[in-house]
Amino acid sequence: ARPVLAIVGRPNVGKSTIFNRIVGDRMAIVEDRPGVTRDRLYGVGEWLNTSFSVIDTGGIEIDGEDVILKSVRVQAELAIEEADVIVFMVDAKAGVTPSDEEVAQLLFRSKKPIVLAVNKVDNLARQDDIYEFYSLGFGDPVGISGSHGIGIGDLLEVVCNLF
Ligand code: GDP
Ligand code: MG
């Protein structure tokens, strides 16, 4: 079986954008076991000689903060169980938010390797925005931009070395 990468983070940080960049058209059949997998998307990614499964968590985002946080929590817990490596995604433009800290609390309990990816680093001028994310406690953040396709290879190199 392929190793599994899960992308976890609060809504709107760019998880689905990165998922689409990594997976392209290698979408897996989306399982629909009610209440269990309906809001996760599966795909296949490749980096150099490594082929891996990718899970985009939090595909369903319902308005209302409690619902969002509950959904993020459930998704994160499922992803922690299923993943070999977790990408914890945050948003350089937003900075560290209370919801990021809640996700961080969940991930601290996991024994799986976690890579902190700071998305929306759209240009070199924004590269300095990644440093505040050291405060989350997951080590060196990797700056990426889903919409500009920056840093994805660097991120996948770190991830694949952890499989
Ligand atoms: P998700 O809720 O975490 O899956 O986030 P989405 O992938 O749906 O993206 C949320 C919003 O952020 C969308 O409007 C995206 O176009 C935008 N976005 C995603 N990646 C980037 C990026 O690298 N830079 C910028 N500026 N916006 C981005
Ligand atoms: Mg999404």
User: Mean pLDDT over residues 26-36, rounded?
Assistant: 52
Maximum C-alpha span of the chain: 44
Least confident of 29-38, 53-62, 142-151: 29-38
Q: How far apart are CA 10 and CA 51, in angstroms?
A: 26
Q: Across-strand partners of 145?
A: 150
Q: Is the CB of 145 under 6 A from ligand 1?
A: yes
Ligand 1 pocket, mutate which of 8, 17, 63, 123 (most atoms under 8 A from CB): 17
**Using CA positions, which residue lies closest to atom 26 of ligand 1?**
120
Q: Does the reported pTM lie above 0.80?
A: yes
Q: For residue 92, give Cα distances in angstroms to 58, 87, 132, 145.
A: 19, 15, 9, 10
User: Mean pLDDT over residues 116-137, rounded?
Assistant: 95
User: Mean pLDDT over residues 114-133, rounded?
Assistant: 95
Question: What is the layout of strands, in order, in the sheet containing 142-143?
Answer: 41-47, 50-56, 4-8, 85-91, 114-119, 142-143
**Using CA positions, which residue lies closest to atom 6 of ligand 1?**
14
Do 144 and 89 meet the contact criterion of CB atoms below 8 Å apart? Answer: no
Cα–Cα nearest to 34, from 60, 6, 56, 7:
60
Domain locations in the chain as residue ranges: 4-162
Tell whether the model's pLDDT for residue 97 goes beyond 80: yes
The ligand that comes nearest to the alpha carbon of residue 9 is 1
Q: What is the pLDDT of residue 35?
A: 44
Q: Is 119 annotated as a binding residue?
A: yes
Looking at per-residue pLDDT, the higher value among 99 and 61 belongs to 99
The CATH architecture annotation of domain 4-162 reads: 3-Layer(aba) Sandwich (3.40)
Q: Is the CB of 150 under 6 A from ligand 1?
A: no
Q: Is 161 annotated as a binding residue?
A: no
Q: How far apart are CA 135 and CA 113, in angstroms?
A: 18
Q: What are phi and psi of 7, to 5 degrees?
A: -105, 115
Tell whether the model's pLDDT for residue 115 goes beyond 90: yes
